[in-house]
Structure 1
Amino acid sequence: MTTADDGAADPAAAPDRYAAVVDDDWERQVVWWDRTFVAIVLLTAVALPSAGQRGPQLWVAYGAMAAILLAYALWGARAARTRDQRTATAYVVVLIVGTAVTVAQNGIATLLLFGAFTQLWMLLDPPRRAVVASVVLAAASTVGISFQGGFDVPTLLQAAPQMAIALAFAVMLGLWVATTMRLSEERARLLGELRDAQAELAESHHAAGVTAERERLAREIHDTLAQGFTSVVTQAQAATAALDRGEQGRARERLVLVEQTARDNLAEARALVAAFAPVPLQGSTLAEALRRLAERFTAETGARVLLDVAGTTAPGGATGHAAADVVLLRAAQEALANVRRHAGAHAVTIRLTRDAPADPAGAGPAPGVRLEVIDDGRGLSTGHTDGLGLAGMRERVSAVGGTLDVGPGEQGGTRVEVRVPAGDAA
C-alpha cells in the first residue's frame, strides 16, 4: 500500500493516477467502515446496562468508549483516508487502551474487538505492524477479561485460549484482506497502464493514419492533378508559340487539348474530394482507360504509342481487383509523365499481359498481371530513379503485393515493369 509518508518523501513526484483510482474506491469503503465502527461502539454501550452493568464501572466503560470515539474523530478517520502512519499509530494506542479498559469492566464489551481488530488492519501498514498491534490488543484484552475475575492465574489461563482463537482468526482474516487490497491496487495500476497504452496506441494509429492519408493524397495529386497541370502548361505554351507563328489552326488544337485536360483534372479533383474510384476507371476497364491515356499522350506530345492489351479486356478488369487495376493505371500515368518530361522519346510501347492460369497441382508461380511501358528515349539519368513519382509508384505497387522494376530497355530508352497479383476475375 502507498502511505502518505511515502508520498511526502518526494514532493517533486507527479501524482500517481493509478493510486488515485484506488484512493477513490478506498474513500467509499472508509465511509462504510466509519458507520460500522460507530454502530459497534453504540451497540456495546447499549449492551453494557442490559448485561447488568451499573455504578462506577459503567461510567468508566462509557468514558473509555468516548475516548475511543474522540480519538477516531481526531486521528483515526483522517488516518484511514490519508494512510498517515503517525496519526494511525496515535489512534491505535488509544484504541487498544480504551478497548482493554472497557473489557475490564464487563465481558460483553468484547464486542468492541470486532471493530478494533478490523481497524488495526485497515490503518496500519505494512501488515507486520498490524500483526504486532493485533497481538498487543489480544494480550491487553486478555488482561482486561482476567481483571474481572480478580486477575489471578486461573482466570488468565481460562481467558487466554479464547483470545488466542480470536487473534488467530483476526490475523488470518487481516492477511487475506491486506493481500486482496494489494491485488486491487496492482489491478488498478495495470488497468491504468492498459488505458494509457490503449490511448497511446490509438494516438499512434491516428498519427500513422493521418500520415498515410497525407502520403496517399500527395501521390494522388502527383499522379493526377500535377500531371494534368503539367500537360495544361505544356499545351498552353505550344498554343502561344503557334499563335506567334500565325498558326491559328494548330493553336486551336492545342487549346482544345488544354480544355479537355482541364476538364479531366476537374473531374479528378471532384473524385478525390468525394473519395470515389479514379475517374478513368469509372464505368470502363483498365484496357479502355489505358487506350484513352495513350491517345491523349500522342495528341499532346506527338509521340507514337503502341498499345498491346490483348487478353486483358474482360469486364472484371485486368487483375480482378479494382485496387490493383488502379495501381496499374497510376503506374502507366507516371511512366508516361516521366517519358514526357525526361525521355524525349519518339515512340512508346504500353503492354498489358496476364499470366496463364496456375497449375492445378499448385506448381509454378501464382498468376499475375504485368504492365510494361518502354520508350526509345535518352534512357535513365542520375536523380530520375528515386523521385517522388517512382517512390509513390513503388509504395502503390507494394501495397497490393506487386513488384516494380525500372531499367534500361533492350534497344535503348527506359523500361518500366509493374507486376501485380491477379484475382479470380479475368
Structure 2
Amino acid sequence: MRERAPAGTSPTAATDDDRAAPAVDRAVDHGVDRHGFWVRTLRLWDGFFVAMLAVYTVAVAVGPPTGPRQVVALALVGVLAVAYVTLGRAGAVRGDPRLTDAYLVALVVLVVAQVALGGIGTVLLFLAYSHVWFFSRRRVTGVVWSVVLTGGITVAAAARVRADGAEVVEIAADFGVALAFAIVLGLWITHVAEQSEERASLLEELRAAQDELASTHHAAGVLAERARLAGEIHDTLAQGFTSVVMLAQAADAELERGRVAQARTRLGHIEDVARDNLAEARALVAAFAPPGLEDGGLGAALVRLADRFTAETGVRVRVDDATDGVVGREQEVVLLRAAQESLANVRRHARASTVTLRLARTGDDVVLEVADDGRGLAAGTPEGTGLRGMRARADAAGGTLDVSGAPGGGTRVRLRVPSPATDAAASPLRPDPPPDQAATRPADQPADPSQEQP
C-alpha cells in the first residue's frame, strides 16, 4: 500500500507517489464510501488468489515433483495462503504498510522456493507480479520488488539445473523478458487505477456538493416560506385583529354614552372584519390568492377596502383606478397588501381626515400611491415591520417603494411594480377625482392613534 498524503492535504495537492498509493490505503483516507469500493475490489483479488492457488495446488498434487518435494511444495502453498490472509489482506484493510511489506517479503521467498523445487512453480509468477504491484506503496517500490523477485527466481532456476555461463544468460534473458512485461503492465495498470480512483473521488465530491446544495436550497426555501407567511399574517390577520380591537373599544365607548344603535353598527363591523379574517386564514392555509381579489380584481378590492376603512374609522378614502383592470395577479397581491398596510398605518399614526388611493400605469409599470393629509412622518422615524414588509414585497416583485411627505402635509407611499401586460396604454397619475365620484362613507367615530411605529 502506498503512503498517504499528509493530513489536511487535498488529493490534487499530493505528490505523484502519493497519488500512486494502493487502493485500500487511499480508501482509508477518503471515507466510508470509497473504502467500500476498494473492499469490493479487494474481494476480486481474493477470488483471483484462491483460483490461482487452487489451480497450482491441483497441478502440484497430480504432477511432478513427487515425494518429499511435492509435500514441501504443498506446504509452501499453505504458508502462502496464511501469509496472504494474515499479512497482505489484513494490512490492506487496516492501511498498515508494515503488514503489506512483510507479505511481499514472504511472497518473494515462497515463490523463489517454489521455482527452486522445480515443476510448474513459475506459474505463480502471474500471482506474484500482480501482488507486487497491488501492495507496493510507490511505483519505484513496485519496480524494485519486481527486480528482486526476478533475480531470485533466476538464481533459483539456474541453481536447480546447475546451469553454466551460457545457460545462466539464457535463463536470465527469459526471466528478463518476463520482468519487462511485468513492469510495463504494472505501470499501466497503476495508471488506470489512479484514473479510476480520481474519477471515483470526483463523483463522490459531486454527490457531496449536490447533497449540500440540495440541503442549502431546502433551508433557504424554509426560511423564505417562513418570511412569506410572516408577511402575509402581518398584512392580513394582524391588521384584522387590530381593527377588531379598535372597533371593540369604539363599541364600548358608544355603550357608555348610551348610543346603542352606533354600538350595534360597530359590532356589525367587527363581525365583517372577523369574517374577512377567517377568509384570509383559509386562503393562507390553502395557498390561494387573497379573497378580496376573487371578485372584480384589484380595483374593486381597493374600493371595498376603502369603504370598510371609512366605515370603521370615519376617515374619508378616495380611490382612483387608471389601470383599466390590466394588472397581473402577482402584482395585484403586492399592490393590495401595500394598500392594506398603508391604511393600517394611517389608522394607527396619521390622524388624517382624507386618504387618496391612486392606481395608475406608467409605461410598463403599475404604480400605487397612498397619500393622506395627516401629521406626516417625523424626521428620523425608523421603519417598522409594516414598511419593511412592503419594501420586501416590492423588491421580490422587482419594484420600488418610496415613502415621503405628501404635498400640503401628510404622508405619501408610492409603490411601483413591473407589470407583465405590456400592451396597455401608459396612463399618467391623474388628479384627485371630484368628491362626488370618490368611494366615501361618513365618519361617525375617529379612531384613536397608538404610539406604535409603522
Q: TM-score normalised by the shorter chain: which range applies?
A: 0.7 to 0.9
Q: Which segments of 5 or more consecutive residues in structure 2 lack a partner in the other structure?
A: 8-26, 425-454
Post-superposition offset of 1:17:
7.9
| 2:321 corresponds to | 309
Question: How many Å separate the matches in 1 of 2:303 and 2:29?
Answer: 63
Number of aligned residue pairs: 404
Q: What are the within-5 Å matches in structure 2 for residues 145-224 of structure 1?
A: 145-224=157-236
Native 8 Å contact 2:356 2:371 kept in 1 = yes
1:34 aligns with 2:46: yes
Post-superposition offset of 1:57:
4.0
Question: How many Å separate the matches in 2 of 1:16 and 1:71?
Answer: 22
Native 8 Å contact 1:19 1:185 kept in 2 = no
Native 8 Å contact 1:143 1:151 kept in 2 = no
SS of equivalent to 2:339: helix
Instruction: Please say which of residues 403-412 and 70-79 is displaced more in the overlay.
Output: 70-79
| 2:351 corresponds to | 344
Question: How many Å separate the matches in 1 of 2:234 and 2:5?
Answer: 63
Identity among equivalent positions (%) equals: 50
| 1:12 corresponds to | none
Report Cα offsets for 1:284-322 as digits up to 9, x if no partner.
210000000111111111111121113x243xxx42x21
| Candidates 94, 97, 105, aligned match of 1:93 | 105
Residue 401 of structure 2 aligns to which amino acid in structure 1? L
Report Cα offsets for 1:324-367 as digits up to 9, x if no partner.
111011111111111111110111111111135xxxxxxxxxx1
Post-superposition offset of 1:202:
2.2
Report Cα offsets for 1:158-200 as digits up to 9, x if no partner.
0122212211221222223333333343333333333333333
Question: How many Å separate the matches in 1 of 2:251 and 2:402?
Answer: 36
SS of equivalent to 1:378: coil
- Pick closer, same or farther for the CA change 1:230–1:35 going to 2, 3 Å: closer
Residue 339 of structure 1 aligns to which amino acid in structure 2? V
Native 8 Å contact 2:2 2:97 kept in 1 = no
- Pick closer, same or farther for the CA change 1:296–1:139 going to 2, 3 Å: same
Instruction: Please say which of residues 396-405 and 88-97 is displaced more in the overlay.
Output: 88-97
| Candidates 20, 24, 46, aligned match of 2:32 | 20
Post-superposition offset of 1:33:
2.0
- Pick closer, same or farther for the CA change 1:322–1:5 going to 2, 3 Å: closer
Question: How many Å separate the matches in 1 of 2:134 and 2:41?
Answer: 11
Instruction: Please say which of residues 194-203 and 227-236 is displaced more in the overlay.
Output: 194-203
Post-superposition offset of 1:201:
2.2
| 1:44 corresponds to | 56
| 1:368 corresponds to | 365
Post-superposition offset of 1:103:
1.4
Residue 405 of structure 1 aligns to which amino acid in structure 2? D
Instruction: Please say which of residues 153-162 and 70-79 is displaced more in the overlay.
Output: 70-79
Higher relative contact order (CA closer than 8 Å, sequence separation 6+): 2
Post-superposition offset of 1:53:
3.2
| 1:331 corresponds to | 338
| 2:282 corresponds to | 270
Question: How many Å separate the matches in 2 of 1:17 and 1:185?
Answer: 12
- Pick closer, same or farther for the CA change 1:106–1:49 going to 2, 3 Å: farther
Instruction: Please say which of residues 134-143 and 195-204 is displaced more in the overlay.
Output: 195-204
- Pick closer, same or farther for the CA change 1:83–1:167 going to 2, 3 Å: farther
1:398 aligns with 2:410: no
Native 8 Å contact 2:295 2:301 kept in 1 = no
Question: How many Å separate the matches in 1 of 2:324 and 2:123?
Answer: 93
Post-superposition offset of 1:96:
1.1
- Pick closer, same or farther for the CA change 1:291–1:185 going to 2, 3 Å: same
Report Cα offsets for 1:125-152 as digits up to 9, x if no partner.
1332222111100111111222233132
1:377 aligns with 2:384: no
What do you get for the CA RMSD once the two structures are aligned? 2.5
- Pick closer, same or farther for the CA change 1:421–1:335 going to 2, 3 Å: same
Question: How many Å separate the matches in 2 of 1:406 and 1:107?
Answer: 100
Native 8 Å contact 1:4 1:83 kept in 2 = no
SS of equivalent to 1:406: strand
Post-superposition offset of 1:379:
0.7
Residue 383 of structure 2 aligns to which amino acid in structure 1? D
Instruction: Please say which of residues 368-377 and 21-30 is displaced more in the overlay.
Output: 21-30
| 1:364 corresponds to | none
Question: How many Å separate the matches in 1 of 2:120 and 2:336?
Answer: 93
Post-superposition offset of 1:4:
9.3
| 1:11 corresponds to | none
SS of equivalent to 2:185: helix
